[in-house]
Structure 1
Amino acid sequence: MFTGIIEAVGKIANMEAKGGDMRLRIQTGKLDLSDVKLGDSIAVNGVCLTVINLPGDGFWADVSLETLNHTSFKQLKTGSQVNLEKALTPSTRLGGHLVSGHVDGLGEMVSREEDARSIRFKVKAPDELARYISHKGSICVDGISLTVNAVSGAIFDLNIVPHTVLETTVGQWQPGVKVNLEVDVIARYLERLLLGDKAADPKYDSSQEGNITMGFLAENGFLK
């Protein structure tokens, strides 16, 4: 698990094709690796990767074909900057929100505009994720825990303060850029919980989980 508070900006140093997937070497910059060992998890642009080698100035990790197909990793190239966060510990301050490092989908930057010293972005989420995004709720974008300032359909607004711009890859975001999105895990579990016994029905189509209606809630005892 992670918090979405970025600890360092790293750089893709090497990319090696490996039997259809990819092996990456990531230079970690100011990230403290003194407590990192083989097998540990580090979030890279919000994607949880496993450390398989520690050459000293960073780490190597394997990236599966599944990850390449469903994240912005397919846009990376040698020299690309990436947001880095080590996995949390029991004593870590939870400054952001609980983040699993499992990307739910790709968003697209729709607009960018200056707002005093901050930057405002509009981001288009996949339609199937829109139900999990709420006004003043949390969302993880390229590994960064952010607050949703407004929502209109599948488009949501972000207000990024100067510190976050300086300490992450936010400054590189421009309209058209694809970003990794992870919705609030609590929203996902709550939706599944509301299904009750229907969740165990093998005939149930999980793609319909977003079709919970007031009638469904009343029928299953959630409304009086």
Structure 2
Amino acid sequence: MNRNKTCKPLKCRRCNFTLVGHAGNCFVIGGVYQGQRIPDIEEYSVKNNTWRRVASLPFNVLTTNLSCVSVGNVIYIFASFNQHESSQQHELAVCLFNPDLTSINVIAAIPVKTQQIRTCVFREDVYIASSNGDFLKFNTQSNLIKELQTQNLVCKEFGMYTCGNAVYLVGGVNTNAKLNDVIRKFSPLSGTWQILCKTLPDHMPIYADCEVKVCRNPDTTIVPFYENNYMEIR
């Protein structure tokens, strides 16, 4: 219907935060405001149109460039360690946040140094892609990390999604502009990457968040939705 309504503002002003949906509510995690880190996690009740502070990020992780996914009854938060507060300067922290208990703990560390990461859930695994080309799998049952075949794209602001039995990386901002509109498909079964299309229609790269859907029509490879329009790539 393309309708919108104004909701109540956050309790704490912030920018560069992360928004994730979980159990019918929305959670705003981290961010900064006027140069100060904002560790607060706020929960928005869709039913009551109210905000409440429920937890804080650990003191030794950064509050920006986070990536969060909802798995079962918990939220996994992937954040870089703070170089001034932690000896693990070149690692990502895996934080487990249970909204029911309002508890948050660092349960693992990933040896990856990067400016940005993207995450998505496939079955019981969280797939992690970095702006440096790293690609890993985090198992939510065992908390173990496994390095996978690198995705060979060093870029920022790319999209990462699951659809069907595959993981997709879409678009991004690269020093080589010809790579900005690459769409790659990863098969968890074979552990290999496949380039689906090298050029989006009208040479329109996809930046940051977008919706990606895969058609069941065998003649169509992927359908990315860009703003209010959609495009078929054959």
Structure 1 length normalisation: TM-score? 0.25
Give the helix-richer structure, 1 or 2. Answer: 1
* Higher RCO by CA contacts (8 Å cutoff, separation 6 or greater): 1
Structure 2 length normalisation: TM-score? 0.25
Give the strand-richer structure, 1 or 2. Answer: 2
